[in-house]
Amino acid sequence: MDTQAIRAQMRTLVVGHVPSNVRSFKFNIFDGEPKVSTLGFHIDPKPFEGRVIATTDEAIVVKTGRAEFAVLDRSLVTEVPDEGARVQVEPYVRRRFDGQRAETPEEHTEFTADGKPYTVQRFVLGSAPAKLPIPVPRCPELQALIQQMEELPAPDGYRRITHLLVDAGARDFTWVDPLPKDIIATPPTIAFTVATAKFQGRVAVQYKRGLDLYAVELHCDGELVERVDEVFFDALGETLERLIDDGSWRRIRVHCLSGRKSVRH
């Protein structure tokens, strides 16, 4: 979508939909690019509802408030609604493995001096973690792999590697947590099942002690179908994206609440 062209057209597109006593209007563009706050943090947009007031070959304009609008990249929406339809829109948000939004405050149980429990919510500004569902291991190399997958960015620069795994439907995690004497015979490994348009099956990320590098294996029906050796830690996200990420996470979910049946993409 040509965002510059859309910006230039907006006044024409919304004419007749802004009250006569309102001098200006606001709009947000949803084109698959991450939103950034005034403090420079990536933010995840909330779902919203509105009425479609205009469509072009590239964009769908939704009125969300008295003088507020959302512009959706037509190539990314899951359904193309008719003008006049009321819709619910869910732009992409980073999520955790339990399905909750990644920026959801973490809850911890603490205890008072006399032993009474109480719940503490912790929220770090700009943080949107997706912790792997793996207990703290004894093997330092496996600890490092977990930390890297949770903290290193995916190639898009918006998600972390673990967000990439969530978007690929990663589940059924297993891991190998060896003793130091067994690290060569049984390498530290994290394995999981994914299901995307690019690959469906088991993925294993192994640490190779001799090379101090990683290897990524793809298994389908119990058979090894691809193996990538000598993966540096800072290329792990790029490798996993190439192997399993089909890009569907960028889609904007549009649900028609009223109006004629929309065209499904």
CA distance readout (Å), 156 to 39, 103, 247, 255: 20, 18, 10, 26
Both 157 and 90 in a single domain?
no
Supply the pLDDT for residue 156: 92
Supply the pLDDT for residue 265: 58
Both 92 and 177 in a single domain?
no
Both 223 and 257 in a single domain?
no
Is residue 106 domain-resident?
A: no
The total of structural domains in the chain comes to: 2
Res 138 pLDDT > 60: yes
Cβ contact 24:33 at 8 Å: no
Is residue 114 domain-resident?
A: no
Query: CA nearest 34: which of 175, 132, 128?
Result: 128
Both 232 and 256 in a single domain?
no
Cβ contact 64:48 at 8 Å: yes
Both 259 and 200 in a single domain?
no
Span 32-54, pLDDT tens digits:
888 888 778 888 999 999 999 99
Span 97-128, pLDDT tens digits:
999 988 887 777 888 888 888 888 776 666 78
Both 258 and 242 in a single domain?
no
Is residue 113 domain-resident?
A: no
Both 196 and 137 in a single domain?
yes
CATH number for the domain harbouring residue 61? 2.40.50
pTM for the structure as a whole: 0.87
CA atoms within 13 A on the CB side of 167: 24
Supply the pLDDT for residue 123: 67
Both 9 and 73 in a single domain?
yes
Q: How confident is the model at residue 165 (pLDDT cuts 50, 70, 90)?
A: very high
Both 49 and 143 in a single domain?
no
Both 177 and 217 in a single domain?
yes
Is residue 123 domain-resident?
A: no
Both 82 and 143 in a single domain?
no
Both 77 and 144 in a single domain?
no
- For 25-35, letters b (16+ CB in 10 Å) and e give bebebbbbeee
- Residue span of the structural domain in which 219 resides: 130-248
**Cα gap 191→203, rounded to integer Å:** 5
Is residue 74 domain-resident?
A: yes
Is residue 103 domain-resident?
A: no
Is residue 21 domain-resident?
A: yes
Is residue 201 domain-resident?
A: yes
Span 185-217, pLDDT tens digits:
999 999 999 999 999 999 999 999 888 999 999
Query: CA nearest 203: which of 255, 156, 235, 245?
Result: 245
